[in-house]
Amino acid sequence: MQLGLSVSDSDVSSFTPLVVLELADDTKAEAITWLLNRIRDKQQNGGAELLVNQLLFPAQDDQKPNPNVFLVGSTLQRLLNGAEDVGLFKEFQDGTMRGFTYANRESFKDFNGDGEGVLSDAECQYIIKHELDTLRAKNEEHVPGYPKLKLYPGKSVVRRLQSKGVLIQYFPLHNKEDLKRLSFSWYKKFKLSFQPLDDIRHYFGEGLALYFGFLEYFTFALVPMALIGIPYYLFDWEDYDKYVLFAVFNLVWSTVFLEVWKRCSATLAYGWGTLSRKKAFEEPRAGFHGALGFNPVTGREEPVYPSSKRQLRIYLVSVPFVLLCLYLSFYVMMVYFDMEFWAINIYNENPDIATSILLFVPSIIYAVVIEIMNLLYRFAAEFLTDWENHRLESSFQNHLVLKVLVFNFVNCFASLFYIAFVMQDMVLLRQSLATLLITSQILNQVMEAFLPYWLQRRRNKKVHKRMRRLMGDKELPLLGQVQLETEMNTYLGTFDDYLEQFLLFGYVSLFSCVYPLAAVLVVLNNITEVYSDAFKMCHVFKRPFSEPATNIGVWQLAFETMSIIAVVTNCALIGLSPQMKAYFPESDTQLILIVVTIEHVLLAFKFILAFVIPDVPKHIQVNLAKLEFDSLEALKKRRRALGR
């Protein structure tokens, strides 16, 4: 089967392939012809006006890889037009960031001669993705060859093919040269330095670059805490004043650094042109379904699903389910503590080797159960959020994040809360905190980078072997690369990476006055985390599409909430400490009142601080105001030129 132009290694030069499109291998020929025609068709006719070719495998291949792999590229002019469509902001000649327009293309900073240099690879791929996503059905009633794949005017073709499994995946290709350069400046040198955030953003887009920016910032922000924490560990400081001092410093510091991060991320986002960029209208998710109706905003025909029904599903099913899971998590924790006591009792009655080994059994079982519960819950949360039938990917993500966040928080910290506030055993708290922190760090690094890397290496070897068998020792750059990347795992977004940092922040801040060394451990963890995350992005996963982002979104809120909870827990811990109690031997009441007062003052201070520190640095505010002023003035001028 060979449709239209095709790419083999000989005529690759006809265009630079940027995006790979993989259809199911039993896709009907007429559907493929139709899809390729729609993609190639002129924009006036409602096509995407992109270049697309089939990837041809040598005939003698006996392992039969999927033949329906297509490469998508574009002319430069189409990309520049597309850049205006998606509303990219680029650096203007005068150094400010302005919305890119094709008409003014020559006034942008990196524009030279033929237009190369303005758009990064990742931006080109993002534009192609946008054009593919907004390729809409005209008057076709269904996908040719598939009477059941109904279409209606305005429906995104790609979304429909995707939701029915005809389009298996589409992803951007790696650029081997750029990747080499990036990975060298990023993690292949052993000199400590800042991460090349601009290069990361160039290659992977703003969303991922912001994650790495946050990771770096968070790690640096923890260094002062770590430095102050070390003497506590070395000199075994146990005085109450010192702990109080440390806790207060921690609480204020965590507020300040979260506020300052907003300014940093605004600065980054301004420099990357995402801060002033207007959000494009999101297409409905591939899985969104509903009765056909009219979108009140665009007036287009599309499935509509009443938000009251969604609210009912959320509040009557999802919320009770989450609460039930939380209850279950508490229940498992209580069983763990029962087992723990039972093991200790047996050991105390009969202290020998067998029973001393038995002492570890409950912890191990509990740790395993927690992991299993997290996994099961994640599936359930994804299923439920999907069933809630959110129209937009962003609202789907927010609801998923919230569900997972609450459960993981409880699952990870419930036992610590129980030890701290019900058992009030500070020594055990310190031990459990250290154990949990260290094990979760080790587990994370293994599960997140080394395991996928090992699996990927096995797969690579298989592909390489097959290639070598096929073509002898000739290099097969494009064919081999596409085949390799098609089989790589898909990077599912920054969710898990942020979640990990969120939990680490919890370990550092919630009980900071009991275990000042936590910050040191997290700093050490994050230094390796930068390397393993960078490595996994470059070599373990498929290249992800660039995600424009102006901030870390819902995670900012999550971190801020954690820092508020930390105020409450730390104040309570200080109130419970025996050193503090010794100050008020005659009455608990006075002690509690003082602690509660301090807590309220700290909380008020946090809010005032958050209010006083502006979220966007002054010079960026000025630049944004200038942009707006200029566009207003231009409007006025145009109006006057029209003769009034």
The answer to whether residue 85 forms part of the interface with a second copy (CB under 8 A) is yes
The answer to whether residue 582 forms part of the interface with a second copy (CB under 8 A) is no
Task: For residue 366, give both structure tokens.
Answer: 């509990």
Measured from the CB atom, the residue of 94 and 352 that comes closer to a second copy is 94
Measured from the CB atom, the residue of 311 and 350 that comes closer to a second copy is 311
Which has the closest alpha carbon to 71: 36, 108, 43, 99? 36
Measured from the CB atom, the residue of 464 and 626 that comes closer to a second copy is 626
Site string for a second copy, 245-284 (x = CB under 8 A): ---------------------------------x--x---
Point out which span in 330-338, 393-401, 427-435, 619-627 binds a second copy (CB under 8 A): 619-627
In sequence order, which residues have a C-beta less than 8 Å from that of residue 627 and are 6 or more positions away? Answer: 96, 97, 98, 276
Among 289, 462, 600, 637, binds a second copy (CB under 8 A): 600
- The burial class, CB within 10 Å (0-12 / 13-18 / 19+), for 395 is middle
Which has the closest alpha carbon to 197: 507, 189, 206, 188? 206
The answer to whether residue 345 forms part of the interface with a second copy (CB under 8 A) is no
The answer to whether residue 585 forms part of the interface with a second copy (CB under 8 A) is no
Alpha carbons within 13 angstroms on the beta-carbon side of residue 639 total 6
The answer to whether residue 622 forms part of the interface with a second copy (CB under 8 A) is yes
Residues 117 and 131: their CA atoms lie apart, in Å, by: 21
Alpha carbons within 13 angstroms on the beta-carbon side of residue 148 total 4
Residues 198 and 183: their CA atoms lie apart, in Å, by: 13
Point out which span in 21-29, 30-38, 434-442, 621-629 binds a second copy (CB under 8 A): 621-629
The answer to whether residue 528 forms part of the interface with a second copy (CB under 8 A) is no
What 3-state DSSP class applies to 287? coil
Among 106, 356, 628, 634, binds a second copy (CB under 8 A): 628
Q: Where are the alpha helices (DSSP H) in 164-291?
A: 176-187, 197-204, 206-234, 240-271
The answer to whether residue 423 forms part of the interface with a second copy (CB under 8 A) is no
What is Dmax (Cα atoms) for the chain? 100
Q: Taking the complex as a whole, how short is the minimal distance between the CB of residue 619 and a second copy, in angstroms?
A: 8
Q: Taking the complex as a whole, how short is the minimal distance between the CB of residue 296 and a second copy, in angstroms?
A: 5
Helices and strands in the chain: count of H runs, count of E runs: 22, 11
Q: How many residues does the chain have?
A: 644
The answer to whether residue 560 forms part of the interface with a second copy (CB under 8 A) is no
Identify the H or E element spanning 527: helix 518-535
Q: Where are the alpha helices (DSSP H) in 536-577?
A: 554-576
The answer to whether residue 169 forms part of the interface with a second copy (CB under 8 A) is no
Q: Taking the complex as a whole, how short is the minimal distance between the CB of residue 621 and a second copy, in angstroms?
A: 9
Point out which span in 59-67, 208-216, 238-246, 618-626 binds a second copy (CB under 8 A): 618-626
Measured from the CB atom, the residue of 83 and 209 that comes closer to a second copy is 83
The answer to whether residue 317 forms part of the interface with a second copy (CB under 8 A) is no
Q: What is the DSSP letter of 421?
A: I
Point out which span in 77-85, 228-236, 382-390, 536-544 binds a second copy (CB under 8 A): 77-85
Residues 271 and 568: their CA atoms lie apart, in Å, by: 37
Among 42, 62, 95, 103, binds a second copy (CB under 8 A): 103
| Contacts with a second copy, residue ranges (CB under 8 A) | 81, 84-85, 102-103, 278, 281, 296-298, 307, 568, 588-589, 592-593, 596, 600, 618, 622, 625-626, 628-629, 632, 636, 639, 642, 644
